[in-house]
A and B are shown apart, each in its own frame.
Chain A
C-alpha cells in the first residue's frame, strides 16, 4: 500500500507546476486534481518516449524524468498570472454536502481496494500489459505485436498500464494487491476538479458542493482497475474546464482542458473520439477557437498514435467491412434500436433528468451547448461502433453498454448542474431586481 500512496504523491507533486502553468486561475482543489492527472500524463509520455528510444525503465529514470519536467515548468508557471478571484461565501449546507461526498468516496476507496482488482479486463488487458511492460522494463512492442495477444487489445492506449508500472517500480516488484487505489485516485482528482469548477461556474458554493455530490456516484467508477475511471476523470475534467474557457474566452482554460482531453486519449480509445467530438462542436459553435481546442490534445496523444501506427495495431470493431456491416444493421432500425435498448444503461435516471431540464429550460441548456454537443456526438460515435461491430451485436451490447454509457453519465450530471446553477442565479437576480435598496419589494 505504501508504494501506491507514494506513486500517487510523486505523480501529484510532479504535476503541480504543470497544472499551475496550464491554468493559473485554478483554485487549490482543482489544481491538486489536475496535478495528479498531469503527473500521470507526464509519466506516461516519459515512459513511452523512453521505450521508443530504447531507454530501459528504472525508478531513477522515471523519478528524474518527472523531476526535470517539474523543474522546467516551475519558472514558466510562476510567470503566469496569479489567481485573483475572490473566494465565494461558504454555505453551511455546502459543508454537509462535502461531508457526504467524502463519506461516499471513503466507502468507494475501501471497496476498490478490498481485494486485488478482480475484473477480467484487469488481468486480461490492463494489468497484463502493465505486468509484461514492467518485466520488460519498457512498453513491449514485441508482446503487443504477437498475434496470440490480439485479445489483450494492443491498440489500447498505455496510460493506465504505465501508471501501474510507476507503482511497480517503486515497489521493486509486481504486486497488484493495491492497484485499485489508482482508480480511486483518478476519481478523487476528478471530484476535486468538479467541486472547484462547478462552484466557480455556477457562482455558488452550495451548488458546487451538491453538484459534486451528485457526480460522485458516476465518478467513482465501478470497474476497478480498468481504463474507464481514468478516461471518465480526464475527459470530464478536461471538457468542463474547456467549456469555461470557451464561454469566458480564456485561452489558458481551453488549452488546459485540451491537454486533459488529450490525456483521456492516452487512457482509452474513446478519449480520442472525445477529442474529435470537442473539435467538431467547436468548429460549429466557436470556429475561431478550434486550434486551441485541437492542437494541445493532438500533441498530447500523438506519440501513442505514432507508436500504434508503427506496430500496425488496429481496433477490432473497425476491421473488415465496417461500413457494410453498419449499413446492414441500420437497414433494420427497429431491430438495431431494440437491441441497444436491451443493454444495461449506466444510470438512466440521470439522462431523464437532463432531458427534462433541456425540455423545461432550453435557455439554460443552450448555454451548455458545447458540452451537450460533445455528449451527443460521443454517444453517436458509440452507436456507430455498435452498428458496424465485428462481434455479435447483442453480446457486444450486453458486455459493454454499461461501461460506455458510464463515460457520458458524469457529463450528463455536469450539464444538468450547470443548467440548474444558471437557473438559480437567474432566479436570485430576478429577486434582487424586485427589491429597493432597503430590501423592500417595489
Chain B
C-alpha cells in the first residue's frame, strides 16, 4: 500500500490542479508571446507580409543574424509557419550562411536589418522592418 500511495503521489502533476486557480489570463499572454519573445515585432511584420505576398511566391528573410543556431533558424521556421503556402528561401543553413540564395527570392521580409542589395519595391514598412518585392 505504501508503494501504491507513493505511485499516486508521484504520478500526479500538482501543477495542473493549481492551474485551475492561477491567473490564466497572465499565463495566456505569456505563452502567446513565448515563441517570439526575443524578436518583438517580427510576427506582426510576417502578418503584414502574409497579407501582401501571394501563395506560391518565393520569399527570403533578412534577419539581424545569419547564424543558424543563434536566431536564423527561428526566423526561418517562424516565417515558414506564418507564411505557409509560400516558399521560404533560407539565407542560412545549420552549417553556414548562404546569402547568395537571396537571388532565388521574389519577395523579401527585412527585420531590423539593412535592406539587401538590388532593386526592391517596398510594399509595407514599419518600425521593425519592411516587406518588399523584387523590382524588374
Interface residues of A (CB under 8 A from B): 97, 100, 103-108, 110-111, 114-116, 118, 120, 123-124, 127-128, 131-132, 135, 146, 148-149, 151-152, 174, 210, 213-218, 220, 222, 347, 349-350, 353, 356-357, 413, 416-417, 420
Stretch at the interface among B2-10, B110-118, B119-127, B128-136: B2-10
Name the residue on A nearest B32 (C-beta): A115
Complex-state Cα separation, A71 to B29, whole angstroms: 44
Known: A107-B15, A107-B20, A350-B10. 16 other contacts (CB 8 A): A104-B16, A108-B19, A111-B15, A115-B29, A116-B32, A118-B31, A124-B80, A148-B90, A149-B80, A214-B7, A216-B13, A220-B13, A350-B11, A353-B10, A413-B7, A416-B3
Q: In this complex, which of B18, B32, B84, B89 has the most chain A Cβ atoms within 10 angstroms of its Cβ?
A: B84
Contact yes or no, B17 A107, CB < 8 A: yes
* Residues of chain B within 8 A of A216, CB atoms compared: 11-13
Assess the A174–B84 pair: CB atoms within 8 A: yes
Contact B12 A353 (CB under 8 A): no
Residues of A within 8 A of B78 (CB): 123
Known A115-B27, A120-B35: A128·B10 in contact at CB below 8 Å: no
Instruction: Give the distance in Å from the alpha carbon of A353 to the alpha carbon of B32 in the complex.
Output: 37
Most buried by A among B17, B34, B73: B17
6 A-B pairs in the complex with CB atoms less than 8 angstroms apart: A111-B16, A124-B80, A132-B84, A151-B73, A152-B77, A353-B6
CB neighbours (8 Å) of A120 from chain B are 35, 74, 77
Q: How far is the CB of A228 from chain B (nearest CB, A)?
A: 15
Assuming the contacts A107-B19, A220-B13, A220-B16, asked whether A114 and B31 have C-beta atoms less than 8 A apart, the reply is yes
User: Are B11 and A357 in contact (CB-based, < 8 A)?
Assistant: no
The residue on B at minimum CB distance from A133 is B84
Give the distance to chain B from A56, nearest Cβ to Cβ, in Å: 15
Any A CB within 8 A of the CB of B71:
no
Closest to B35 in A: A118
Cross-interface CB contact of A356 among B3, B11, B31, cutoff 8 Å: B3
Is B16 a contact partner of A127 (Cβ separation < 8 A)?
no
> From residue B79, how far is it (CB to closest CB) to chain A in Å?
10
B24 → A minimal CB distance (Å)? 6
B10 touches A349 (CB 8 A): yes
**B55 CB-CB contact with A under 8 Å:** yes
Closest to B83 in A: A131
**Cα distance, A110 to B31, chains bound together (Å):** 13
Task: Judge whether B81 and A128 touch: CB under 8 Å.
Answer: yes
B residues adjacent to A (C-beta < 8 A):
3-4, 6-8, 10-13, 15-20, 24, 27-32, 34-35, 55, 73-74, 77-78, 80-81, 84-85, 87-90, 94
B residues in contact with A213, CB < 8 Å: 8, 11-12
User: In the complex, what distance in Å separates the CA atom of A148 from the CA atom of B80?
Assistant: 11
Docked pose: A120 CA to B77 CA in angstroms: 9
Known contacts A118-B34, A123-B35, A174-B84, A104 near B28 by CB under 8 Å: no
Main DSSP-derived SS at the A contact region: helix
- Whether A416 and B7, one on each chain, are in contact in the complex, defined by CB atoms closer than 8 angstroms, is yes
Q: How far is the CA of A353 from the CA of B55 in the complex (A)?
A: 54
Evaluate contact between B8 and A214: CB separation under 8 angstroms.
yes
Taken together as a complex, chains A and B put the C-alpha atoms of A85 and B134 apart, in Å, by 71
- Closest 7 interchain pairs by CB? A214-B11, A107-B16, A115-B31, A217-B13, A124-B77, A349-B10, A123-B81
Which residues in A have their C-beta under 8 angstroms from that of B74? Answer: 120
Given A111-B19, A114-B31, A124-B77, check contact A420 B24 (CB 8 Å).
no
Q: CB distance A110 to B24 under 8 Å?
A: yes
8 Å CB contact of A135 from B11, B84, B89: B84
Residue of B nearest to A148 (CB): B90
Q: Which residues of B sit under 8 angstroms from A127, Cβ to Cβ?
A: 81
Q: Return chain A residues, CB-CB under 8 Å to B81.
A: 123-124, 127-128, 131
Instruction: Report the separation of the CA atoms of residues A23 and B122 in the bound assembly, to the nearest whole angstrom.
Output: 62
Instruction: Give the CA-CA distance A120 to B71 in the complex, in Å.
Output: 13
Check A115 against B28 for contact (C-beta < 8 Å).
yes
Whether B11 pairs with A217 at a CB distance below 8 angstroms is yes
Contacts of B34 in A (CB 8 A): 115, 118
Least Cβ–Cβ distance between B1 and chain A, in angstroms: 8
Indicate which residue in A114, A220, A417 contacts B7 across the interface (CB closer than 8 Å): A417
Task: Determine the chain B residues whose CB is within 8 A of the CB of A135 once the complex forms.
Answer: 55, 84-85
CA distance A103 to B17 in the complex (A): 6
Which A residue's beta carbon lies closest to that of B82? A123
CA distance A168 to B15 in the complex (A): 30
Could you say which residues of chain B place their CB within 8 Å of the CB of A210?
4, 8
Given contacts A110-B24, A350-B10, A420-B4, is CB(A118)–CB(B17) below 8 Å? no
User: Which residue of chain A is the closest to B86 with respect to CB atoms?
Assistant: A135
Cross-chain contact B3 with A353 (CB below 8 angstroms) = yes
A141 to chain B minimum Cβ distance, whole angstroms, is: 15
Distance of A210 Cα from B12 Cα, bound (Å): 11
Residues of B within 8 A of A97 (CB): 8
Docked complex Cα distance between A214 and B20 (Å): 19
Residue in A closest to B13 when the chains form the complex, CB atoms:
A217
Complex Cα–Cα for A379 and B102 (A): 44
Whether A108 lies near B77 (C-beta < 8 A) is no
